[in-house]
Amino acid sequence: MVNEDASEKNHSSENIGMVGKYQLWMLKADVGEAIAGSPCSDELVHQENLFQMLKKKSLNPKWITSRDCLERKFGCDDFYVLPVFRGKVFSRLISLKCRVYGTLALITCLKKKERLPKRHSPVWSTTLQDSIVCFSGIEMKIRKHQISLVKMMGGTISKAFTKKVTHLVADSQDTKSKKFVTAVDYAVPVLSVSWIFTAWKSAKAFNERKYTDEQFIGEHKLQIFAKCVISCSGLAPQDRSTLSHLIGKNGGVYTGNMRRNHCTHLVTDLNSGEKYKIARKWGWNQIKVVRLRWITKSLEKVCS
C-alpha cells in the first residue's frame, strides 16, 4: 500500500521565498462577513500583519475580495491566504483545487525561516509539519475528521504502517493489532486522539507551537489501560482501593459491578468465586480473566 498523501508528500515542501514564483492572493474581508466565514477582528489583524510582512520580504502579496474569489472559474498554482477556514470563499477555492493556506502557516514560516508545505489540500498551520501519521482502531467518523485536521496542520497520512511513519494514533494498546505491535518494535510513539484535537485547538488559537515536540508527545501518549473496564475478585478492600487508583490513573475504568458487554477484564488470583465462574461462562472473547501480576507487568512497561 502507498501513503494516502503520497502525491502531496512527493511535492515536498518549499522555502517561503518560492511563493514569489506564483501570485500570492490574500483575502480582504470585513469583520463578520458571512461569505468569508465571519472572521473576527483579531483574525483580520493577523491577516493584515502578514500582508505587511510579505511586502517587506518583496513577495508581492495582493488583496482579493470575497466576491472576486467566488467568481473564479478555474484553479491555478497561485496561493490564496485566508484568515479562517470556513465559509463560501473557503469552500469555493477548495472545490477549484486551489492552494489555500491559513495566515498562521505563512507567519510561522516567515518567522522561523521554515519550508512552506506545498499541498493542494488546505494548510492552516505547520503544527504537525514533517509528521507521518497512521491510525489504528479509531472509529471511521473520528478518523476522517482527524485525517482532515492532520493535513490542515501540515502533516501527512499513511494508511499502511511503514518505516516512514512517525506517529501512530490508536484507541487502545491492542497487542493483536499489527500496527500497534510494529509501532512498539520501531519505537514509534503511540498516541491518543487527544494529541490531534489538542494540536488543532492550539493552532486555531493562533499558537505557533509544534506538537511534534517531545513535551506534547509525552502528554498525549496512549495510556496503558485505555478502553479497559476492569473489575476484580478475591482482593482485600485496601488492595481493591489501590487497584482502582492505579487503573484510573493509567486511563482505565474500575468497576465493582461486572456487567456483560461492558467489563473487559476481571482481575483475580483465584480460580473460584461467583465473578470468576460467570467470566469463564461468558468466555475469553467477552471478558479477559487475568492475574494481579498482569496489572503490575503492564505498569512496568509504562515506567520502562
Mean pLDDT of 189-206: 96
Chain-centroid distance of CA 65 in Å reads 32
In this predicted model, which residue has the larger pLDDT, 76 or 303?
Answer: 76
CB of 154 within 8 A of CB of 129? yes
Q: By C-alpha distance, which of 69, 77, 86, 56 is closest to 26? A: 69
16 — pLDDT class (breaks 50, 70, 90): low
In this predicted model, which residue has the larger pLDDT, 144 or 5?
Answer: 144
Distance CA 65, CA 2 (A): 39
Q: How high is the pLDDT of residue 299?
A: 84
Mean pLDDT of 9-35: 74
The DSSP code sequence of 221-290 is: BPPTTTT-EEEESS--HHHHHHHHHHHHHTT-EE-SS--TTT--EEE-S-S-SHHHHHHHHH-TTT-EEE
Q: How high is the pLDDT of residue 18?
A: 52
Fold adopted by 24-30+37-112:
Rossmann fold (3.40.50)
DSSP state of 16: G
What is the CATH number that goes with domain 132-220?
3.40.50.10190
What is the CATH number that goes with domain 229-296?
3.40.50.10190
Mean pLDDT of 192-196: 96
Distance CA 193, CA 251 (A): 13
CB of 51 within 8 A of CB of 107? no
Helix (H, G, I), strand (E, B) or coil at 192: coil
> 63-122: per-residue pLDDT in tens?
999 999 999 887 678 899 999 999 999 999 999 999 999 999 999 999 998 878 878 899
Cell 506538537 sits on residue: 211
- For 209, residues 6+ apart whose C-beta sits below 8 A from its C-beta are 127, 202, 216
Question: What stretch(es) of the chain map to CATH 3.40.50.10190?
Answer: 24-30+37-112, 132-220, 229-296
Amino acid at 88: K
> 216-234: per-residue pLDDT in tens?
999 999 988 988 999 999 9
- Where are the alpha helices (H) located in the chain, listed in sequence order? 6-10, 41-56, 66-70, 87-95, 103-112, 140-152, 178-185, 194-204, 214-219, 237-249, 274-282, 292-303
Q: How high is the pLDDT of residue 8?
A: 45
**pTM to 2 decimals?**
0.81
Chain-centroid distance of CA 22 in Å reads 31
